[in-house]
Amino acid sequence: MVPGAGGRQLLPGSVRTLAPGKILVAARGLPDPNFSETVVLLCDYNEKGAMGLVINRRSELKVAQAFPNVKLARDYTPTFFVGGPVEPSGVLALVRTSDARTDARHVFADVQLVSTRPQLEALIAKQTGSDQLRVFAGYSGWGPGQLDRETLTGSWHVFSIDSAIVFDPDPATLWERQVRRAQERFASYPSRRTSTGSMREARHAGRNAATAPTVAIMTTAATSVATSRGSSP
């Protein structure tokens, strides 16, 4: 990814806050088309790299088209989200549940990562709504230290969130709402008000693949989701 226009960490300590369950909000003007105006849920982060899912790019392809043999799938209306440019033919899902599941990986709060076909088929067969289930084609990945460097150079705002944001009913406006939140936080940060140069940075803040856990369900339909959005691995 090309670094953000700011050239420096948007807020002190942002890199230290990177962890599963945080969201990455792309800075305004981020030139990488794979991540421009995106909000990414960070699902894994360690010394080997990071993995996340873009939660605000909904496609027009219905999930049911990738699971024609699932009972009741024909009436299932939710569509795929484009999770990122890595392995666009792979499918992952986020489910919101308070139940402890041995067949899913906990991300944060009541959000769990679904990575096997039987799990996902069962959720679709139950007609699990989009307020509890989001299905993604592809994912976003970063190598060792890569996300840290991108955050240090101003590509990402980092936020703690609750699970409602992951399942936001209006994903098309999610980035704009979150980047405004980032700008407000940046402008109110005490050290940014100490000089003319700092005030200038505050006003313009935000304007301006990798080894990761590979868990995928291969489907031809999922490939067309990423293709329709112009993503490339």
pLDDT grade, residue 11 (50/70/90)? low
| 230: in domain | no
Q: What is the pLDDT of residue 190?
A: 64
Q: What is the pLDDT of residue 123?
A: 93
Q: Is the predicted pLDDT of residue 36 greater than 70, yes or no?
A: yes
Dist CA 178 CA 173 (whole Å)? 9
Please give the share of the chain, as a percent, with pLDDT higher than 70. Answer: 75
| 103: in domain | yes
Task: Report pLDDT digits (tens) over 38-61.
Answer: 999 999 999 999 999 999 999 999
Tell me the average pLDDT of the chain.
81
Domain holding 171: CATH number? 3.40.1740.10
User: Is residue 20 within 8 Å of 94, Cβ to Cβ?
Assistant: no
Residue 142 three-state SS: strand
User: Is residue 184 within 8 Å of 202, Cβ to Cβ?
Assistant: no
| 9: in domain | no
| 233: in domain | no
Burial class of residue 146, CB neighbours in 10 A (0-12, 13-18, 19+)? middle
Burial 182-211 (b: 16+ CB within 10 A, else e): bbebbeeeeebeeeeeeeebbebbbebbbe
| 86: in domain | yes
pLDDT grade, residue 167 (50/70/90)? very high
Task: Report pLDDT digits (tens) over 89-130.
Answer: 999 999 999 887 778 999 999 999 999 999 999 999 999 999
Dist CA 38 CA 52 (whole Å)? 12
Short-list 39, 29, 231, 214, CA closest to 134: 39
User: Is residue 166 within 8 Å of 12, Cβ to Cβ?
Assistant: no
Question: What is the residue range of 110's domain?
Answer: 15-218
Flag whether the pTM goes above 0.85.
no
Per the structure, the count of domains in the chain is: 1
User: Is residue 114 within 8 Å of 132, Cβ to Cβ?
Assistant: no
Short-list 122, 151, 115, 104, CA closest to 8: 151
Position with higher pLDDT, 9 vs 37: 37
Q: Is the predicted pLDDT of residue 224 greater than 70, yes or no?
A: no
Instruction: Give the pLDDT mean for 6-32.
Output: 80
Q: Is the predicted pLDDT of residue 219 greater than 70, yes or no?
A: no
Q: Report the Cα 198 to chain-centroid distance in Å.
A: 30
